[in-house]
């Protein structure tokens, strides 16, 4: 479980909300609270204390190098207690983020140096819950959403807070959250 001060780089996909709703219907605890549907580019990212204007600029520059893309979720990845939708259209961005910060192991190294890009639908499910979520989510596929920005979020005592929105393919449009 993440602790306050943890950060992540994510790409929101609001069009996939129905997939998370399907998991919530089975058991609300299967969906991590505080973030909309998203594909993680790098988690955990840097500790909040290491997030500087230079890091923000590097995130914005990296995002500017990648075009906005339509992400089509067509395939589920199901394993013990876990259901996700594969997001191969975002693999180049996730790989570039990992290449820019090679000393930050995605998911603490649990899934190798370049884990497949995916949208987590449910985590921590029982075997029966996993089957139920997978069945319900499969009925909703395909889902297509526009990936338009890389977002830097930080976990605080009150939940995940947006620090930076860096538009994909736009070198001058990064915006900072007012909450710091």
Domain count, the chain: 1
Best CA proximity match to 89, nearest among 50, 29, 144, 167: 144
pTM of the model: 0.91
- Judge whether 15 lies within some domain: yes
Read off the pLDDT of residues 58-83 as tens digits, 9 standing for 90 and up: 999 999 999 999 999 999 999 999 99
Per-residue HEC secondary structure of 149-166 comes to EEEEEEEECCEEEEEEEE
Neighbouring C-beta atoms of residue 117, cutoff 10 Å: 21
- Judge whether 121 lies within some domain: yes
Confidence of residue 170 (pLDDT cuts 50, 70, 90): low
Bridge pairing between strands 159-167 and 38-42: unpaired
- Judge whether 142 lies within some domain: yes
Read off the pLDDT of residues 98-151 as tens digits, 9 standing for 90 and up: 999 999 999 888 888 889 999 999 999 999 999 999 999 999 999 999 999 999
Return the CATH number at 99: 3.90.1140.10
- Judge whether 159 lies within some domain: yes
Residue 108 φ/ψ region, left for φ over 0, alpha for ψ in the -120 to 50 degree band, beta for the rest: left
- Judge whether 99 lies within some domain: yes
- Judge whether 2 lies within some domain: no
Read off the pLDDT of residues 127-140 as tens digits, 9 standing for 90 and up: 999 999 999 999 99
- Judge whether 17 lies within some domain: yes
Q: Which residue range(s) make up the domain with 167?
A: 7-176
- Judge whether 1 lies within some domain: no
């Amino acid at each position: 479980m993440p602790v306050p001060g943890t950060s992540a780089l994510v790409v929101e996909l609001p069009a996939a909300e129905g997939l998370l709703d399907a998991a919530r219907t089975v058991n609300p605890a299967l969906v991590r609270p505080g973030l909309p549907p998203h594909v993680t580019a790098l988690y955990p990212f840097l500790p909040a204390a290491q997030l500087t204007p230079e890091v923000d600029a590097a995130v914005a520059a990296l995002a500017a190098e990648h075009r906005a893309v339509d992400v089509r979720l067509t395939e589920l990845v199901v394993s013990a207690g876990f259901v996700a939708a594969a997001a191969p259209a975002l693999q180049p961005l996730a790989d570039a983020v990992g290449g820019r910060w090679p000393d930050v192991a995605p998911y603490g190294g649990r899934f190798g140096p370049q884990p497949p890009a995916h949208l987590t639908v449910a985590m921590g499910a029982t075997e029966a819950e996993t089957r139920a979520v997978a069945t319900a989510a499969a009925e909703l596929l395909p889902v297509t959403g526009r990936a338009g920005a890389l977002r830097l979020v930080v976990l605080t005592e009150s939940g995940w807070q947006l620090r930076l929105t860096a538009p994909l393919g736009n070198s001058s449009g990064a915006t900072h959250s007012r909450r710091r």
